[in-house]
Amino acid sequence: MALHRRQFTFATAGALAAPLLAPLAVAQGTAWPSRPLRLVTGGPAGIADIRGRWLAERLAAALGQPVVVENNGAAGGNVGAEQVARAAPDGYTLLVVHQGIAAINPHLYAQIGFDPLRDFAPVTRFGHGSLLLTVHPGVTASSVRELIALARQKPGTLNFGSPGNGTPPHLAAEMFRRAAGIESTHIPFKGGGAMMASLLAGHVQWCMEGLTAQLPHVRAGSLRALAVTGARRVPSLPDLPTIAEAGVPGYEYAGWTGIAAPAGTPRAVVERLQAEIARIAATDEARQWFAATGADAGVLSPDAFGAFIRDEHARFGKLIRDAGLRAE
């Protein structure tokens, strides 16, 4: 798949504190950053790419260097991730890592060209939030409990869609199906757009997808929202319960993205990047931007982000093995 580049160049904001913007001395006294950075968004042109481009604009201003965004979604982001894993660990090549790359694909694909636990230096999480459980209006269920009851009355007759086998929305729905004890047939599509078109047409009856993709249809009345998948309600839909509140105690699913560098990147560079991203995430602009999509920045320290990735890797590995899933 061809790489698509977009470059952001911004003047350094003079109001920022001098210590934050002072060049960082790395190997052999070379100042970092002294040239443009490359940020690979390892996934399709969806939320990982959107968040990566939003961050790149603001990170360029903070670092005083352009940040060049490259999108490579081949093989669920595996190709872009492998490029970053093999890049020089000098702080000039970064990856928008996400659940698929770090926690799902290593268990789903027979072979990939990187080890997410060994080949990357975690920088920080940047984006953590719910999906939305929706049904077609033709489904006679107005709550999670009613959807579960309907599925039990007519086992196997309700289909759920996803953007593809093993994608985060598929696994979120599989977690729900298992936790609720229902039979429901999975229909994978080649991307979220095709899946949403089928749901709107009533060819599949329910799904779990991001708020950005679904909210316009919910507000137009062409989909019915039943719950959010995370641990707490989202500000843009305050009356909508979580799935745990709505009848499946203990259920929780949150999608996430973050920033990683090649393993061996100097710790001082990793910490500088994390500090700049944390400062960006703390702004009112960032809080409002994430809240509009049912998420928050969810920034973590490099060590905490590394521990989080290891936990996600183990959790989704078990789910994929138990469900017998493989990449198509």
What average pLDDT does range 107-125 have in this prediction?
94
Provide the number of structural domains found in the chain. 2
122 and 135: one domain? no
Query: pLDDT of 220-262, one tens digit each?
Result: 999 999 999 999 999 889 999 999 999 999 999 999 999 999 9
Start-to-end CA distance of the chain, whole Å, equals 18
- 44 and 119: one domain? yes
| Contact assessment for residue 309 and residue 125, using Cβ atoms and an 8 Å cutoff | no
66 pLDDT band (50/70/90 cuts)?
A: very high
Clarify whether residues 301 and 220 are in a common domain. no
| Same-domain check for residues 271 and 170 | no
Query: Is there a single domain that holds both residue 160 and residue 63?
Result: no
Instruction: Identify whether residues 205 and 180 lie together within a single domain.
Output: yes
Contact 134, 123 (CB under 8 A): no
Round the CA-based radius of gyration of the chain to a whole number and report it.
Answer: 20
In a domain, 249, yes or no: no
C-alpha–C-alpha distance, residues 154 and 323, integer Å: 22
Give the type of residue at 232. Answer: R
The pLDDT of residue 25: 52
HSE, side-chain direction, 13 A CA sphere, residue 125 = 23
Verify that 8 and 109 share a domain, yes or no. yes
Structure tokens at 228: 């959010």
DSSP string across 1-20: ---EEEEE--PPPTTS-HHH
**Cβ density class 285-298: b for 16+ within 10 Å, e for less:** ebeeebeebbbbbb
- What letter does residue 68 receive in the DSSP assignment? E
Which of 176, 194, 228 represents a domain boundary (last residue)?
A: 228
User: Is residue 102 located within the same domain as residue 197?
Assistant: no
Is residue 85 included in any domain, yes or no?
Answer: yes
Residue with token string 């890049």: 87
188 in the same domain as 288: no
Evaluate whether residue 278 is within a structural domain.
yes
- List Cβ neighbours of 213 (8 Å cut-off, separation of 6 or more): 192, 196
Confidence of residue 22 (pLDDT cuts 50, 70, 90): very low
- Residue 212, burial from CB neighbour count under 10 angstroms (0-12, 13-18, 19+): middle
The answer on 8 and 122 residing in a single domain is yes
Q: Both tokens of residue 256?
A: 């996430």
Query: Above 50 in pLDDT, residue 2?
Result: no
Better-scored residue on pLDDT, 29 or 98: 98
Q: Which of 309, 175, 297 is nearest to 244 (CA)?
A: 175
Query: 66 lies in a domain?
Result: yes
Residue 229 DSSP class: S
CATH code at position 119: 3.40.190.150
- For the domain that residue 208 is a member of, what is the CATH number? 3.40.190.10
Closest CA to 260 of 81, 1, 109: 81
Backbone angle region of 324, left / alpha / beta, with phi > 0 → left and psi within -120 to 50 → alpha: left
Q: Which of helix, strand or coil describes residue 154?
A: coil
Q: Cβ distance 4 to 71 under 8 Å?
A: yes
Domain that includes residue 141, residue range? 131-228
Check the CA dihedral 273-253-202-328 and report its sign.
positive
> pTM value?
0.84
pLDDT tens digits, 156-204 = 889 999 988 888 899 999 999 999 999 999 999 988 889 999 999 999 9
Sign of CA dihedral 219, 222, 225, 228: negative
Whether residue 115 is contained in a domain is answered as yes
Give the H/E segment covering residue 162: strand 159-162
Same domain? For 29 and 125 the reply is yes
Same domain, 311 and 172: no
**Which residues, 6+ apart, have CB-to-CB distance to 238 below 8 Å?**
none
